[in-house]
Amino acid sequence: MKPVLRCDLGRPRALLFDLDGTIVDTETAFRDSWLRAGYEYGLQASALDVDKVAAKQLDGLSTAEALFGIHEESLLVAIAGFAHDYRQKARKTLELLPGVEDFILSARGSSVRTALVTNAPAWRVQEVFAGVKLTTGLDLATLFDVVVHSHHRARPKPAPDLYEEAVRLLDVPPAVALAFEDSVTGLAAATSAGVRCVHILQDCGRSRCIRYAAACFPNFMTAAAHTEEGSM
């Protein structure tokens, strides 16, 4: 769990955060909802299949169509409804990963601008916003000045489009922004947009993404410690 710090992170004017797997574990509920829906209706898909569908734009297809290869309208509606109801129940237990809330609140208290940058569609972002409450009682959405998602009609990560849109909306140069990601696709996207990255990974020694990342921290408590030490 030892952090890896390749260079001085400086003092960024904007922090950009991925959603799934970086600040909150929504991936498990999303994956399970479609696996359970498939089982309920006698359709087969693997966890890897769900992850692949979640990571790409569907060009007008619904998740059920892309995942199960079906097109019967009534069945699509039933499956999507089952998956939605499952996630509605699961989201009641959603919470931010350790250290995230304090880290972002501290940054905002220092006038650092913040953005959420995700491949997820708007409806999925809203599900998470509705399900996660801060310890202050405020909504998760209040942590971000800007939210950029797949409905901005940009190419998904690993293309740089979403990060380019985020820094444009924040009105900051990419060079003074810092992104936090848990995946190689996200790190590649930020790097391609000219934004330096921090890899959030529990075992930094196993990071295969360090060529993209200026640093690797196991969690946001460690990231905060480096911030307090003046490394960022």
139-176 pLDDT tens trace = 999 999 999 998 887 788 999 999 999 999 999 999 99
Q: What is the pLDDT of residue 12?
A: 93
Q: What is the pLDDT of residue 90?
A: 74
- Region 126-142: mean pLDDT is 89
Average pLDDT taken over every residue of the chain: 86
Strand partners, 146: 115
Q: What is the pLDDT of residue 124?
A: 83
User: Side by side, which strands form the sheet with 196-200?
Assistant: 4-5, 215-217, 196-200, 177-181, 14-17, 113-117, 146-148
Q: What is the pLDDT of residue 121?
A: 87
Q: What is the pLDDT of residue 228?
A: 58
| Calpha distance 151→137 (Å, rounded) | 28
201 vs 163 pLDDT, higher one: 163
For 229, which DSSP code? T
| pLDDT exceeds cutoff 80 at 189 | yes
What tens digit of pLDDT does each residue of 81-129 get?
988 888 777 776 788 999 999 999 999 999 999 999 999 889 889 988 9
Using alpha carbons, select from 2, 5, 1, 3 the residue that is nearest to residue 214: 5
| pLDDT exceeds cutoff 90 at 26 | no
- Region 46-65: mean pLDDT is 78
Q: What is the pLDDT of residue 2?
A: 59
pLDDT > 90: what percent of the chain? 48
Residue 102 Cα distances to 5, 78, 97, 107, 109, angstroms: 21, 40, 11, 9, 10
What is the CATH number that goes with domain 14-24+95-229?
A: 3.40.50.1000
Residue 44 identity: Q
- Region 39-53: mean pLDDT is 88
pLDDT level of residue 230 (50, 70, 90 thresholds)? very low
Which pTM does this prediction carry?
A: 0.78
